[in-house]
Chain A
Amino acid sequence: MSVARIDRRFADLKAQNKSAFIAYIMAGDPDLETTFEILKGLPAAGADIIELGFPFSDPMAEGPTIQRAAERSLAAGTKLRDVFMLVKRFRELDQDTPIILMGYMNPVEFLGYERFAQTAAEAGADGLIVVDCPPEEADALTDALDANDIALIRLATPTTDASRLRTIVKRTRGFIYYVSVAGVTGVKAVDADAIADQVVRVREAANLPVAVGFGIRTPESAASVARIADAAVVGSALVDEIAALAQTKNLPENNPNRTNVLEKAAILANAVHSARLAEQV
C-alpha cells in the first residue's frame, strides 16, 4: 500500500489541478494525546499528506520553533515506539492520507534499518525523510525501506546543481522535497518566483512530484508555492500554534487552542487548494 498511497494522493490532486497541502507536526509535542487529537483532525482541515516528526535531541537543521518542539516531546518522554503507535492509531481511522515520518539518523540507526522499516510499515507509515542521511550513506537504509514498501524521500536544495541532482533522484520514491531556502526550518521566507525554475528542473530530473518547504508561514506564501509546486509543506507555522497550546493546562480534548492549530491548517490548506483556481479566474 504505502508508496502507492502517496502516488494515488498526488494523482488525485493532479486530476483536480490542485497542489497538495502537507502539514508537519512533531510527534509527542507537547504530549502524545494532543498529537493524536491534532492528527485526527488534520485530514478534515485539508491536509493531504502528514509529515510526522520523530524527536531527536540534536536537530541540527531545525530553527528554534522545531527545536523547541523536539525538546517538549522528549521532555514528555516520547519514545520511537510511541511515534509508531500514533501512526497505527491514525491509520485505523484513515486509510487514505499518507504519513511521512521525518527525523534524524541516530534513532533510526539505534533501532536498526530493518526493524525501523518493518515497524513503520506495520504501523501504516508510507515514507521517511532523514535529514542527515545523504545518498552517499543511504544504500543500506534504502534497501530496508524498499523491502517494506516505504518511500525514502530525498531533499534537493538551492545548493544542488545538475550533477548532484542526478545523484539525489536515484532511488527516491513518492516525491522529492525541495528545501526552498539555504538555512534551517522556519526562519527565512520562501520566494516562490525565485525558485520556480528550480522546481521545474527538479521535477524533470526526478519524474516525481515536487514538494516545497522550509520557508512557508502565511497563506499568501503557501498559495504562491502551490502555483509552482506539486505540494507546499508547512511546519513551523503550525508548530507555533502547538507551542501556544503547550503553555495551557487544559486537557487536549477540552483545549480551545487545539482548534487554533486545526484552523490555521484549514486556512493554509484552503490557500493551497484554491491557488490555481484563483489563477484561472
Chain B
Amino acid sequence: MSDPVLRNSYSQPDAKGRFGQFGGLYVPETLMPLVLELTQAWHDAKNDETFWAEYHSLMTHFVGRPSPLYFAERMTEYFGGAKIYFKREELNHTGAHKINNCIGQILLAKRMGRTRIIAETGAGQHGVASATVCARFDLPCTVYMGATDVERQKPNVFRMQLLGTTVSPVTNGQGTLKDAMNEALRDWVTNVHDTYYMIGTAAGMHPYPEMVREFQTVIGKETRTQILEREGRLPDAVIACVGGGSNAIGMFHPFIDYDTVKLVGVEAAGHGLDVYNGHASSLNGGRPGVLHGNRTYLLQDDDGQILEGHSISAGLDYPGIGPEHAYLFDTGRARYVTTTDEEALAAFALTCKLEGIIPALESSHAIARVGELAKEVGKGGIVVLNLSGRGDKDIATVAKHMGETGASLLS
C-alpha cells in the first residue's frame, strides 16, 4: 500500500448546505440575497483553475507551505506508544492555520468586487490572518473581538493594528467569540452593499462550513503526501483540537474515506464537563440547536438560551461547533474527547520542554490527549497531531496561571 488512490465517496454537504441534519442557512432575510450570491461565487471559484493557481502560489510564497511534517521523537519516547508526528501549521506565516482560509476568502472577496472586509476573532489568530491578507490586498478591515479577549490576547490586538486593521472591542454578553460574531453579523446586515464577511472557522451559514473546509484541507492533503513519503503508508490516527473546528476538519477531511484512519477531535473541557457553563465542549456537553446561521451542537440552558461556556483558550471558547463535526460525531466516523484547562497547561509545558516548541493553548488541548492515543494505537503505529498554532500569544495567560499555582508547571 505505497500510494493508495485518493478515494472520494464522501460528498457532504448537500446542495442546501446540509451535513445530515446539521448546517443549513439560518440568517435574517436582509442577508439572504448576499449569502446566495456568495454561494454562487464560491461555486464558480471552486471550479476555476486560475483561482486555485493563485491560491497555491500565495500558499507557497506568502504563507510558506508546505508546512513540515515533523517526527516528535522525544514525545514519542516519552509516551512509549505509536510514533507521533506534528503537522507544523504553527510555522505558517502569522503563526497558525488560519491564514490558509484567509488567503482563499480574500481572493473570493476580490473576485466578488467587495471593497471592505469584516471578521470576528477569539484568540486573535484569525484576526491577525485577516488583517494580514487585507494589508497584502489593500482592503480596509474591521475585526470584531470580545472585550475579554482583547484583554487576554493583547499582542495579537497590537499586531492587527500594526497591519492597519481597526479592532472593535465588543462588550455585549461576556465579551468573547460568540459576541464578536453577533456584532460582525450586525455590521454585515448594515453594510450589505460593499462588505465581505470573512468567517474564521468552518461554521456559520452555508457556504462557509464547506468553503472554509476546502481552504483548510491543504493541511490533510499535505499530511497524506508527506506521511506516504516518510512511512509509505497512511497514519493510524490523526488528532486535532476543535473549537469551531477548522483546523480539525482540514486535517480530517482527506482521510474520512479511509476507515483505518481514526479521526480524533479534542474539545475544551475548561473547568470540567460536570461544571455548569464551565466548559466549551459543544458535542460532549451540548445539544443540537440553531445559532449563527447553522444547526449544530450548542451549549444551551433548559430554555434554549445560549451559554457562554468557558475555556482558558480564547480560540476554543465558543458555544457551538462546525456542522460537519456535528455530523461526524453523530455518525460516529470521528471521535471527540475533551481536555481541561489544567491538562492543556500541562501539555503546553511538556511540549516546550520535550520538543522545543511553544504550542498555542488551543493546540495544547490536542497534545494533552495524544499520549493516550499513541498508546491505544500501539508501537509500530503512526499518529499525526495537527499543531495548529504557536503559543507566543498565550505566554501572558500561562505566566498568570503559573503565578496562581506556584509555578507548578515548571516542576
Task: Please give the residue numbers on chain A whose beta carbons come within 8 Å of chain B beta carbons, in ascending order.
Answer: 55-63, 67, 74, 79-80, 104-111, 131-134, 136-137, 154-161, 164, 168, 179, 182-184, 187-188
Contact = CB atoms under 8 A, between A and B. Distances in A.
Which 3 residue pairs across A and B have the least CB separation, nearest first?
A110-B304, A107-B304, A183-B190
A182 B191 CA distance: 7
A131 B298 contact: no
Given A155-B28, A157-B30, A60 B292 contact: yes
B291 interface: yes
B24 interface: yes
A61 B28 contact: yes
B29 A60 contact: no
Nearest to B289: A106
B185 interface: yes
Contacts of B130: none
Given A106-B298, A107-B303, A183-B190, A57 B33 contact: no
A133 to B, nearest CB: 6
Nearest to A138: B26
Give chain A's interface secondary structure class.
loop
A203 B409 CA distance: 67
19 contacts: A57-B305, A60-B185, A60-B292, A80-B303, A105-B26, A106-B289, A106-B298, A106-B304, A109-B295, A111-B304, A132-B26, A132-B28, A134-B28, A136-B16, A136-B25, A157-B30, A158-B30, A159-B30, A159-B31
B304 A132 contact: no
Contact of B26 (A59, A67, A137, A179): A137
A227 to B, nearest CB: 24
B30 A134 contact: no
Interface in B286-306: 288-293, 295, 298, 300, 303-306
B30 A182 contact: yes
Contact of A184 (B189, B289, B291): B189
A31 B303 CA distance: 17
Contact of B189 (A56, A106, A182): A182
A62 B31 CA distance: 14
Given A161-B33, A184-B186, A131 B303 contact: no
B182 interface: yes
B192 interface: yes
B184 to A, nearest CB: 9
A62 B304 CA distance: 18
Contacts of A106: 289-291, 298, 300, 304-306
Contact of A61 (B16, B24, B189): B189
Given A58-B306, A67-B172, A136-B25, A159 B33 contact: yes
Nearest to B27: A132
A233 to B, nearest CB: 15
Kindly state the interface size class of chain B when it binds its partner: 35 or more
B149 to A, nearest CB: 17
B41 to A, nearest CB: 16
A66 B12 CA distance: 37
B29 A134 contact: yes
B291 A58 contact: yes
Interface string B293-326: 1010010100111100000000000000000000
Contacts of B29: 134, 154-157, 159-160, 168, 179
Contacts of A159: 29-34, 192
A57 to B, nearest CB: 4
A131 B291 CA distance: 12
Contacts of A67: 172
B97 interface: no
Contacts of A184: 186, 189-190
Task: Pick from B25, B31, B186, B300 the residue with the most CB of A within 10 Å.
Answer: B186
A110 B31 CA distance: 24
Contacts of B87: none
Contacts of A111: 304
Contacts of B189: 60-61, 182-184
B32 A134 contact: yes
Contact of A179 (B16, B30, B186, B305): B30
Contacts of B232: none
Given A57-B173, A58-B306, A80-B304, A160 B28 contact: no
Contacts of B24: 136-137
B173 A134 contact: no
A108 B295 CA distance: 13
B178 interface: yes
B300 A61 contact: no
A95 B386 CA distance: 62
A65 B128 CA distance: 31
A179 B31 CA distance: 12
B74 to A, nearest CB: 44
Contacts of A156: 29
Interface in B264-298: 288-293, 295, 298
A179 B33 CA distance: 14
